[in-house]
Each structure stands twice: as structure tokens, then as C-alpha cells.
A and B are shown apart, each in its own frame.
Chain A
Amino acid sequence: MTTLLIHGGRIVDPSQDLDGALDLLIEDGAVARIDGKIAKPKGAETFDASGLVVAPGLIDIHVHLRDPGQEYKETVRSGTMAAAAGGFTAVACMANTIPANDSRPITEHIVNEARRYGFARVYPIGAVTKGLAGEELSEIGEMVRAGAVAVSDDGKPVMNAELMRRALLYARQFGIPVIQHAEDLNLSAKGVMHEGEWSTRLGLAGIPGSAEDVMVARDLLLTEDTGGRYHVAHLSTARSLDLVRWGRSRGLAVTCEVTPHHLLMTDEEIAKTGFSTHCKMKPPLRSESDREAMVQGLVDGSIDCIASDHAPHHADEKDVEFNAAPFGILGLETTLSLCLDRLVGRKILSLLRLVELLSTGPARVLGLPGGTLKPGSPADVTLFHPDEEVTIHAVDFRSKSRNTPFEGWTLRGRPVATVLGGRRVELP
């Protein structure tokens, strides 16, 4: 293996509370040393990181790679290229592929594909239930042995309370969390956007905040009873966040993530864009007070990580009437710039806290090896420019899909390179 010296940059590593002008030496795929000035070892490759931030590799624990089954939307290859282009060295992918990732062969397929291309690490998330049908537990143990790091029926909730209780117990067997897409399907029903002033004005069927809240509340009680590990995917309401805080105050093993779009946009966006289907996702863009609560949750530490819920859909599928469009938007190639500009640039978060939310935090939630540049750790590194201007153009995406509501946004801060296991990732 080669030696790589990343010099002249600003190392930001929340796992060591480190933020300063430091050099990073990588040997044999692992972090060897961090120091003020490291002399170039003989034969080492170098990377001049002047003007750049050097952070532990970013991790997105909520993406949809659509592989197998919907390769026209995304594949493991295109999705991990999108990850690398967006500054991510690892992703965890949801199980709602076709067929669903509810058994060892599918998990192995995903792991093998990711290894074959080597653009980013991929951690599969197995289905809680067979075929995501919400009826019987899938072979979670088998999937864990093949590399699954959590279970989730994401895209759908585990509606049956008894099944959820059993899932929390059984997942505990393997020390993995159950990730819930918290949505009471009876309450969300045919809703296509957040229920509130704007759904009333637009005449679109609403999804009340309580559709999420009642699920989170129920699950927290079950988490307490089972001693399981519970993670709320794409948390979006102020009240659900309060419930998570309540759960933590009772000592429960509960974590949660929030998406960039729930931090930056509200339900009004649908009116402003004239019913753009790129503003349609689940959970829906919420009210301004919910949005403010999400931002507050990042600041006060109640939210563990930012995850994009990268959900590729083909342009033809989105180019239909609002009611008929599928839910979901892309995230991997916009998350870092959005967060740098709107959260760090606007002095809401420090850079150290942002890196925690994008790297150390998600690693901790899923118990992954990354999220740190401590000596001996895998040398997964993200290099980004903290304030260089970039304009989002979906045509430039590495993803196969183009469904972003951020088209044309000009932002300050952009990914520059990733290093995976000590090797600089090159995209074809």
C-alpha cells in the first residue's frame, strides 16, 4: 500500500475535537499521524490541501440506490459515484429495492457491487419484514452476517405494533438499530403534502404532523419495553423531536436524523414553485415552525445526524401531475454545499458541528468504523472547499436521476475530493 500525505489543509475532526492547520499522514489505508507539519516521507504521494477543509469521510446513512430492480433510476455504481462527487465516503442504503433486500443474496449483491467499483463504502440496511410486507420478520441474522448494519422497511412504516416490538427485540440480538419510517398510514392516507395552511390553499390532500408523531410516540414506548435501539429516519416535526428528547431523558437508546430539505424548505415551497413535483417527498416539507425546530435540534444536539434520503426517480416519473408523482428527491450531490452555505455560512452551526452531523454522528448511530481521523482508523477522508461558490445543475450530477428542488441554487462551499482507505477516489 502507498503512503499519502495531505498537507496544508485545515483538519476538522469532531471525534478528537480538532480544528486547525494540520497535516495528515496516511499509511497502509489507515490514518498514521496528524501533526502541525509533517515532512514528506520518501516515496509518499502528496495532496496539497491549501484552502481546503480535511474531514473524516462523510457518511450518509439514508440513501436509496435502487439496485437491484430499478437500475434506470440508480445503481450501486451510479449512486456511489454520486456519493463520491458529493463528498461522501460511505452510504447506508435502504431495503426497498425490487426484490426487497430482505435476505442474504440481495445484501451480498449490494456489498459486492460496491466493492467492485470502490467509489464509496456501502452499508446495506436489511428489511425488517419479508418483502417489506409488514407481516413476518425477515432473516435479519443472515443479512447481518452478509454486511447489513441495521434494519428498516423505509418507504413504509412498520405499522403493526406487535411486529415492531418483536423487531426491536430481535434486532437487539445483533446489536443493530431498527430504523423507522414513522408514518401512520391511516393518518397520512392519500395525503401528498403537509397538512396546514398551504394544503388548504392549494386544495391538496394533507399529511398531518401527527401521522409521524403518533408513530414515534408508540415506538418509544416499545423501545423502552424492549431495551432495543431505535432510530427515527427523516424526522420532520417539532413534536416528534420533543418525543425523541423525552425518550432520551428516560435513558432510551434512541437516535434520529434530519434531511437537508426539511432544514431548508417548507410546505409553502409547493405554492411558490407552482406545484413542482420536486417538492414532493415523504415526510412532506413541513411548516416553518417545524423547520425552525429541526434547525434548533441541530444546534442543541438533539439531532444525531443529517441524512439526505437520496431518492432517485426518473424525470418521466416526476413530470406528471402533483398527485400522481412519486415521493422523493436526490440528496447526495447537494447536501454538503447546502449545509455549508445555509448552516455554517449563516453562522447557525460551526464547521466542527457540521462535520459531526455528517460524519462522526452518523457513524455513531450505525456503529460504523468511520467518522474519525484518529490514528489507526480507516483512512476515509473528505476534502472540501468551505466557501467557494457553486451553482447546482442537475445535468452535471453523477446520479442517474435529476430530481432535485435545488436546481439553480448558488451556494458557497463545495466538495473537492474523497479518499477511501488511503486511496484518492477517481471518478471515470
Chain B
Amino acid sequence: MTPTTLRWTRKDLLGIAELSAAEIELLLDTAESFREVGERPIKKVPTLRGKTVLNLFFEASTRTRSSFEIAEKRLSADNINFSTSGSALEKGETLVDTALNLQAMAPDLVVIRHGAPGVPHMLAKRIKAGVINAGDGAHEHPTQALLDAYTIRRHKGKLAGLRVAIVGDIEHSRVVRSNIHLLTKMGAQVVVGGPRTLMPPAIEKMGVEVAYTLADAIRDADVVMMLRVQLERQGRMAFPSVREYFQLFGLTTERLKGAKDDVIIMHPGPMNRGVEIASEVADGPYSVILEQVTHGVSVRMAVLYLLSGVHEEP
């Protein structure tokens, strides 16, 4: 089923940082082979029949969680969902104890989202099941970067040589970190843009250009990725008001003129319309935002499939 000769050997998918370009390629190519499943009248294959997947969400999520759940069901895996509300953690159990208890139920894969960086890594060291990072704090969100790359590749036919602008709250974004790793490994040029108060120090050491105005960030861009601005940062130390943020960094059709003519607009969601992106752009002809969501399922099917190791069985 896999179109390349490289075999997947990792137990876990913790981040993009440690992946090679060939592994990324394998994931994207594998996703391509699963895309068609979502277009069938009966959207189900038996690939992961008998496998158990735990979805552990310690932080609110609609999109990522549903996407994983759908991917699991389309692969015929049995899945169980845990979320913080009502979980043992609220009764004072440590994460390690929770992990060991879950391990005792012998799942094959664990999908985890947590607000603290490094939690999937900690879990991966403790349990036999493969661990998929579905977002750890502001650290990594590998499946988001993969679905973004997949979407870009479908539109542009390649990643190498493209200019990708990522604009918004760079400091607190796991999406941006995973995307930087992925896009730079695949030969794209990345520019990150946003106010200086939301730009983490030494980000240029990750191999990106830094811009402090929207115009500078998106100039000649093939792809513009807008990031969600967390409204609770308003009026604190990051920026004085949503109104001023939109004036400076909100993407409108008019401001998009500096980008390439065939630019595509992306957003990992959930969007704040009228804050980082105007509706005319979000719903406009350059937007591929909903396609990202569709491709998210194929990409997660590919990740589940490769990590489950079923392809190695006779």
C-alpha cells in the first residue's frame, strides 16, 4: 500500500522535529492513498480491525478530536475517548498513574492532547502503546503540520521552493513550530509574522525569516497561514485590543494583494472572524480552510495506519 520503499519504524509520532524528509514524504504519500476512502459511499476499511485506540484529551478540542475519531472509525479501530472532565486527574491522580492504568488496558495506540509541552514524550517512555501527539502546549502539533503540508502539496504540487507566511500569535502556537520544522525540512521558505509582543525570542534560529508587519510577512507568498489569536490575551501584555490587532494584522482582500496571484489561504482553526481574518478572505476564492479539515482525516488515517504496524504483518 505504501508507495515508497522506506518503512516506518517509529513507535510514536511525538513531533515533526525528529522526522526526516523521507519519513514526512512517506506520511504524506500514505495519506494520499487513504484520501479515496473518504470519497466512497461506505467510508470504511478493515485495516485496523481489532486494534484499540485511546483518545486522551486533557484540553478542549473539537476539530482535532473529531478528526482522529473519524479516522479511527474509518479504519475500523475500536476507540475510547477520555477527556479531563470527570477523569482521575481531577481527583489528584498523577499523569504517570493515569498512563500506567491506561496501559494496563492494553491499547495499541494512544492519541494525546495536553496543555503542557513534553507530556506525550513522557507518556511514550512509560507505555508500550504507540503515542500520537495531538498537541502539547505550545510545542508541537505534528498531524496539523502534516495536513497543512498535504493541502499545500495538493494545490501546488510540491513544497520545495514555496514561500509560506505564517502570521499571528507565533509565541503560543504549536502549529507554527510543527509547520516550521516540516516546511523547512521539505525545502520551503518560511516567514513568520506578528507583533513583537507575540514573537518568541530567537525564532530565526529555527530557520525562518521574521516580519513585524502583515505586508512584509505576506509579500510574494505562495501560502498564507493565519493563526488564531487568543482573545484572552487582549489588553494584557500582548496587544491592547482586538480592534487594533485587526487594523495591524487582520487579513483582508485588500491586504492580500502583496501575495502571489495564486496564493492559498489557510487557517488551523478555530477562526476568529474579524480578528485575524476577515470573512471575505476566509470564505473567498483563495481559501482552502475547509479542505484542510477534510485532508486532516486522511492524514490521521495514515498516521494511525503506519504507527499501528499492521503493514508489517504477513
A196 to B139, CA, bound (A): 14
* Chain B proximity of A262: nearest CB distance (Å): 20
What residues on B are CB-neighbors of A275 within 8 Å? 117-118, 121-122
A320 to B121, CA, bound (A): 12
Closest to B140 in A: A203
Closest to B115 in A: A323
Chain B contacts with A in 113-156, Cβ cutoff 8 A = 114-119, 121-122, 125, 136-140
Beyond A316-B94, A320-B95, A321-B114, whether A274 also contacts B137 by CB under 8 A is no
Closest to A189 in B: B237
Beyond A320-B94, A321-B95, whether A202 also contacts B118 by CB under 8 A is yes
What residues on B are CB-neighbors of A200 within 8 Å? 200-203, 205-206
A319 to B95, CA, bound (A): 9
B80 within 8 A of A: no
Q: How many A-B residue pairs have CB under 8 A?
A: 64
* Chain A proximity of B32: nearest CB distance (Å): 30
What residues on B are CB-neighbors of A206 within 8 Å? 200-201
What residues on B are CB-neighbors of A323 within 8 Å? 115-117, 137
The proximity string for A residues 196-227 relative to B, scoring 1 for CB distances below 8 Å and 0 otherwise, is 11011111101000000000000000000000
A316 to B117, CA, bound (A): 19
Beyond A201-B177, A203-B140, A274-B125, whether A195 also contacts B117 by CB under 8 A is no
A324 within 8 A of B: yes
The proximity string for A residues 316-359 relative to B, scoring 1 for CB distances below 8 Å and 0 otherwise, is 10011111100000000000000000000000000000000000
Residue of A197, A274, A316 touching B118 (CB-CB under 8 A): A274
Chain A contacts with B in 352-383, Cβ cutoff 8 A = none
What residues on A are CB-neighbors of B163 within 8 Å? none
Cross-chain contact B200 with A199 (CB below 8 angstroms):
yes
Closest to B125 in A: A274
Residue of B114, B121, B177, B205 touching A274 (CB-CB under 8 A): B121
The proximity string for B residues 74-109 relative to A, scoring 1 for CB distances below 8 Å and 0 otherwise, is 000000000000000000001110000000000000
B73 within 8 A of A: no
Number of residues from B at the complex interface, CB < 8 A: 26
Cross-chain contact B201 with A204 (CB below 8 angstroms):
no
* Chain A proximity of B18: nearest CB distance (Å): 10
Residue of A196, A197, A203, A316 touching B137 (CB-CB under 8 A): A203
A191 to B62, CA, bound (A): 28
Cross-chain contact B139 with A203 (CB below 8 angstroms):
yes
* Chain B proximity of A258: nearest CB distance (Å): 23
A316 to B136, CA, bound (A): 22
A195 to B201, CA, bound (A): 7
B174 within 8 A of A: yes
What residues on B are CB-neighbors of A202 within 8 Å? 117-118, 139
What residues on B are CB-neighbors of A201 within 8 Å? 17, 177, 205-206
What residues on A are CB-neighbors of B177 within 8 Å? 201, 203
Closest to B174 in A: A203
Cross-chain contact B96 with A203 (CB below 8 angstroms):
no
Cross-chain contact B94 with A204 (CB below 8 angstroms):
no
Closest to B124 in A: A274
Chain B contacts with A in 190-211, Cβ cutoff 8 A = 200-203, 205-206
Given A196-B202, A324-B116, 7 further pairs, Cβ under 8 A? A196-B201, A202-B117, A204-B137, A204-B138, A274-B118, A275-B121, A320-B96
Q: Would you list 26 pairs from A and B whose C-beta atoms are within 8 A, ordered by A residue?
A: A196-B202, A197-B201, A200-B200, A200-B201, A200-B202, A200-B206, A201-B17, A201-B206, A202-B139, A203-B139, A203-B140, A204-B118, A204-B137, A204-B139, A274-B118, A274-B121, A275-B118, A275-B122, A316-B94, A319-B94, A320-B96, A321-B116, A321-B119, A321-B122, A323-B116, A324-B116
Chain A residues within CB distance 8 Å of chain B: 195-197, 199-204, 206, 274-275, 316, 319-324
**The 5 A-B residue pairs with the shortest CB-CB distance in the complex, in nearest-first order:** A275-B118, A203-B138, A203-B139, A197-B202, A200-B200
